[in-house]
Structure 1
Amino acid sequence: MTPSKKWYKFIIPIVLVCFGCTTENFEENVGSQSLTKQENFTTSRAGLKSIGSGVMMQAFYWDVPAGGTWWDTVEGKVQDWSNAGIDAIWLPPASKAQNGAFSMGYDPFDYYDFGQYNQMGSVETRFGSLTELQNLISSAHNAQLNVIADIVINHNSGGDSEVNPVNGQSNWTDFNPMSGKFFRSYNDFHPNGIHNNDTGVFGGFPDLCHHQTYVQDWLWKKTESVAKYYRDSIGFDGWRFDYVKGFEPWVVKDWKNEVGGFSVGEYWDGNASTLDWWTGQAEASAFDFACYYAMDAAFDGNDLNRLNDDMLWKRNSMRAVTFVTNHDTDEIYNGKMLAYAYILTHEGYPTIFYRDYEEWLNKERLNNLIWIHNNLAGGSTNILYTDNNEYIARRNGYNNAGLIVYINNADYWQERWIETNWSNTQIKDYTGHSNWEPTTQGGKWVKIQVPPKSYSVWAPK
């Protein structure tokens, strides 16, 4: 969730504060391509694909159909996604929120109600019942897919009004969930006896205080904490932390160190240096918003030189989760397939957006790029050429031959001589966009081509 959410009407300004962090004592969450697939990511549940061996699917979009059918819809797709090369699915916030059957989950009320209690105006959530969620997760696991939970712990919504003695004001901070777990009062939010605020407040909602031991216990430390309940009772395998600008990075680090699992934060910032700082402090991955903004400028703004911009994957590919669009942005813009060709041939852990895959773009073309990512896109990256309309890069290979990707934003065919890693080797375009099958020279040079407004990906035949 971000300040761009469609149902939020206002935002309180964010004040950033840098706090100290704890020492590192748990497994790395790493990005993708400089190591082997197996070494890059880990999964704590036997029988599942290693996270990072393939591609993540964001298995929802903003305002998916209400009526409690979404878990069933996704369950019907998990095997096909796995067959295509997906290794994890990211679900929307699964527990009961203030808006009940109409909520997308980003206004959480009862972290332990997955559609089994009659509160907030409904029994089921917008997405379905507890049983349907469990069936979905079971089917995903049977398809060897990890399931990533969307965790919203910056703020809560739906509490009753009570007076906060710290400031003498009435606030909606009295939470009495029907699950009987994690009751909350004014002392668990800001302001309280510890401090008035942390790094940010979202939308005027009650802002959880993660410095309170009671809050830490219920969120990740206790045997029945939210984190352990999600992992052990519901079956989630990893975490996507919402709006991490709203609390200090040590919260994500402590959560991950307590319960394990792949972790990625939504730190909405286009500055690669800032993203790199956050991933180091949290010891977790982050969505590469720097890459997102550079691609938007490159493909929608018709200047592929912008792909030379600083990005998180260039600073630390082992922490970068790349994406073309998500539930907050979910726009169709020019060159979206070119953007997918970019993230699916470059370093980082790429994410596919549900509507792009299932509704808006060519699924066969996306499946081809997923295959290329999983089988050819290894090793470090060298950018070979850029101008307004052309971009060529080489992946140098790791336990595979690597590849050359050629992206063309012009309205006509283009061709160029480039230096490969292969001498006297016949190569081909694995996208099928070109029928050339040239042989590289002894000095590794070869001429390749690319169609208008398209891309080609070259590797040994």
Structure 2
Amino acid sequence: MKKTQFLLVALALGFVFSCRENDGITDETPDQKEVHSKIVNVTSHDGRPFSTGTSSYAKFVAGPGGSVLMQGFYWDVPDGGNWWNTVKGKLTDWSNAGIGAVWLPPASKAQNGAYSMGYDPTDYYDFGNYNQNGSIETRFGSRAELEALITKAHAENMQVYADIVINHNSGGQSEYNPYVGSNTWTNFSGVASGKFTRNYNDFYKNAYGNNDEGAFGGFPDLCHANPYVQDWLWGRDDSVGKYYKNVMKFDGWRFDYVKGFGPWVVSTWNSNVGGFSVGELWDSNVNTLEWWANNANSSVFDFAAYYKMDDAFDNGNLNVLNDDMMWKRNPFKAVTFVANHDTDIIYNKMLAYAYILTHEGYPTIFYRDYEEWLNKERLNNLIWIHNNKATGTTSILYTDNDEYIARRNGYNGNPGLVVYINNSSSWQERWIQTNWTSQQIKDFTGSSNWYPTTQSDKWVKIQCAPKSYSIWSLNQ
């Protein structure tokens, strides 16, 4: 949910990787320059290749490191009904880059019709095919265009996640509410689809009580305790959840403002409907995040990691990356992110993306970061590294205010990696212990020209450019 409309200044984040000569370290040999035939050799500033993905058309196939999620919108995307077509036109490139899923904004008709971002839902079954709230299409387009987007994504082996807003509704007509003693905007008997009609008893306060966990923005607060509401949200064959999944073909759910209702709601939805799910629990307390994820039987956005990254990379305090985060508690229920449509506070974003794309959890990339603001080739390189090298548990090897080094320990034959993040203004070098004995490694970002060989005790010296990162793994 858009809590505050942020005024964002487009930052010139030209992320420059530099290189220097190093005594005792030889440049790569012609054999070392050979890269597997399916790897694109995108050239770094000094002419050396780094890995980004496949060179020919290739639908997404999950690598040993898992998948990456694209948030396929931002706040106030252009109106005019063309957003579904815009996203559809990018799916092949996203798939080729190694992105395995796209999260879409709320797709159904909302109170502000063609101008709404969807977080004020009126008719859950109007995807831009009914004339109500001043328009036929939604801000994003028509139902046919949405279905074409989803079909295209599936053809690319990508999943599509729907933004589900079930805390509150908007756009109802006024009716007398005996539980309030005055009129409320809770009459949804005239929704154009004819499905999930609602009245005052489907919203708090009503026969089921005065309130639940939380209301939002003065909107009518949907009552999940009402069996009628439960039946229409997830119970019946044409419920909202089952219709989205079985008819519209969505693969998963991003639940908006889950502070507003109990985690049992998401858990019950998931057990009845199925599919991937992640909740927006805007809370930096990792205990709260873990409690909600366990009780909701769902993933949760790792706001604990989000605020730690801001402190680390913007405030020069990389030691806080030793602190607890949701991905450390349960990486299988942690969705990590650097920015989203609601909040964008991290300035040193490339360092943050290097962090989430090399660590455990399910990393999310924000549309504007990828398509408009940051270096797409660098992001593609990180996506490739995530999908192909970021495997196994995580061991933190070194931290201080300016430097952070961690090792992914590898899994099932995959060697894992070592990530070195340097937030200082000068090149840094460290001896670290790897999982590799007497084997040559290289920096898969192309930033360093070192090709060191690990010692018999697995120790090796690595380096990192200023305000940058390097990511090391076996030279294979």
Is the structural similarity TM-score above 0.5?
A: yes
Q: Distance in 2 between matches of 1:448 and 1:247?
A: 49
Cα distance in 1, alignment partners of residues 153 and 325 from structure 2: 32
Q: Is the 8 A contact 1:230 1:236 kept in 2?
A: yes
1:140 is matched with 153
Task: Note the 1:306-455 alignment, pairs <5 A.
Answer: 306-331=320-345, 333-399=346-412, 400-455=414-469
Deviation at 1:167, TM superposition (A): 2.2
Aligned to 1:25: none
Q: How does 1:30-49 map to 2 (within 5 A)?
A: none
Q: Residue 120 of structure 2 corresponds to which residue in structure 1?
A: 107
For the residue of structure 1 that corresponds to 2:185, the secondary structure is strand
CA distance in 2: counterparts of 1:356 and 1:173, whole angstroms? 39
Q: Which runs of 5+ in 1 are unaligned?
A: 8-46
Per the alignment, residue 153 of structure 1 pairs with 166
Q: Is the 8 A contact 1:2 1:243 kept in 2?
A: no
Q: Give the secondary structure class of the aligned counterpart of 1:192.
A: coil
Superposed, 1:280-299 pairs within 5 Å as 280-299=294-313
Give how far 1:280 is off. Answer: 0.5
CA distance in 1, matches of 2:426, 2:349: 18
- Verify the 8 A CA contact 2:61 2:98 in the aligned structure 1: no
Contact 2:304 2:326 in 1 (8 A): yes
Percent identity over paired residues: 69
Residue of structure 2 equivalent to 1:3? 3
Distance 1:257 1:448 in 2: 47
What CA deviation, in whole Å up to 9, does each residue of 1:330-370 have, x standing for no partner?
A: 35x43110000000000000000000000000000000000
What is the distance in 1 between the residues matched to 2:292 and 2:129? 37
Q: Give 1:14-25 correspondences, 5 Å limit.
A: none
**Aligned equivalents of 1:136, 1:82: Cα separation in 2:** 13
Output the CA distance in 1 between the equivalents of 2:91 and 2:243: 23
Q: What is the CA–CA distance in structure 2 between the aligned matches of 1:248 and 1:227, rounded to whole Å?
A: 17
What is the letter of the counterpart of residue 3 of structure 1? K
| Structure 1 pair 397–236 and aligned structure 2 pair: CA distance change class (3 A) | same
Aligned amino acid, residue 127 of structure 1: F
Q: Which residue of structure 2 lines up, in the alignment, with residue 187 of structure 1?
A: 201
TM-score (norm 2): 0.87
Aligned residue for 1:31? none
CA distance in 1, matches of 2:71, 2:323: 25
- The 5-angstrom pairing of residues 126-137 of structure 1 reads 126-137=139-150
Q: Are residue 172 (structure 1) and residue 185 (structure 2) matched?
A: yes
Q: CA RMSD in A?
A: 1.4
Tell me how far 1:379 sits from its aligned partner: 0.5
Query: In the alignment, is the contact (CA less than 8 A) between 1:304 and 1:390 conserved in 2?
Result: yes
> Partner letter of residue 436 of structure 1?
W
What is the SS of the residue equivalent to 2:330?
helix
Which digits, 9 at most, give the CA deviation of each residue in 1:69-95, with x for residues without a partner?
000000000111011111110000000
Correspondence 1:68-147 to 2 at 5 A:
68-147=81-160
Is 1:246–2:271 an aligned residue pair?
no
**Could you tell me which of 230, 237, 252 is aligned with 1:216?**
230
Tell me, yes or no, if the aligned pair for 2:66 and 2:386 is still in contact at 8 Å.
no
1:231 corresponds to: 245
When Rg is computed on C-alpha atoms for both structures, the one with the higher figure is 2
Question: Which of 88-97 and 305-314 deviates more?
Answer: 305-314
Match of 2:472 in 1: 458
Alpha-carbon distance in structure 2 between the residues aligned to 1:317 and 1:259? 23
Superposed CA deviations along residues 174-226 of structure 1, whole A, max 9, x for unmatched, are 01201111110000000011111000000010000001011011111111101
Alignment partner, residue 270 of structure 2: 256
Distance 1:102 1:334 in 2: 30
The alignment's TM-score, normalised by the length of structure 1, stands at 0.90
Whether contact under 8 Å (1:264, 1:286) holds in the other structure is yes
Per-residue deviation at 1:53? Answer: 2.6
SS at match of 2:316: coil
Partner secondary structure for residue 100 of structure 2: strand
- CA–CA separation in structure 2 for the residues paired with 1:452 and 1:199: 47
**Aligned-pair CA distance for 1:431:** 0.4
Deviations 1:25-79 (A, max 9, x none): xxxxxxxxxxxxxxxxxxxxxx986698310000000000000000000000011
Q: Is the 8 A contact 2:60 2:95 kept in 1?
A: no
2-structure distance, mates of 1:196, 1:224: 29
SS state at 1:193 partner:
coil
Q: Distance in 1 between matches of 2:169 and 2:426?
A: 53
How far apart are the structure 1 equivalents of 2:168 and 2:60? 32
Whole-Å separation in 1 of the counterparts to 2:179 and 2:368: 46
Task: Report the secondary structure of 1:297's partner residue.
Answer: helix
Aligned equivalents of 1:428, 1:194: Cα separation in 2: 62
- Name the CA shift for 1:445/1:298 in 2 (closer, same or farther; >3 Å): same
Amino acid at match of 2:147: Q
* SS of residue in 2 equivalent to 1:263: strand
User: Structure 1 residues 411 and 48 mapped into 2: Cα distance closer, same or farther (>3 Å)?
Assistant: closer
| Counterpart contact for 2:60–2:99, Cα < 8 Å | no
Identify the residue that residue 18 of structure 1 maps to in structure 2.
none
Q: Which residue of 1 aligns with 2:314?
A: 300
Map residues 272-287 of structure 1 onto 2, 5 A cutoff: 272-287=286-301
Structure 1 residues 397 and 435: alpha-carbon distance in aligned structure 2, compared to 1, 3 A threshold:
same
- Distance in 2 (CA, whole Å) between partners of 1:438 and 1:306 is 30
Q: Is the 8 A contact 2:6 2:343 kept in 1?
A: no
Distance 2:117 2:344 in 1: 15
Task: Give the ranges of 4+ consecutive aligned residues of structure 1 lying more than 6 Å apart after TM superposition.
Answer: none
**Shift in Å at residue 5 of structure 1?**
5.2
Q: Could you say what secondary structure the match of 2:305 adopts? A: helix
Note if contact 2:169-2:220 (Cα within 8 Å) is conserved in structure 1: yes
Cα contact 1:49–1:146 (8 A) shared by 2: no
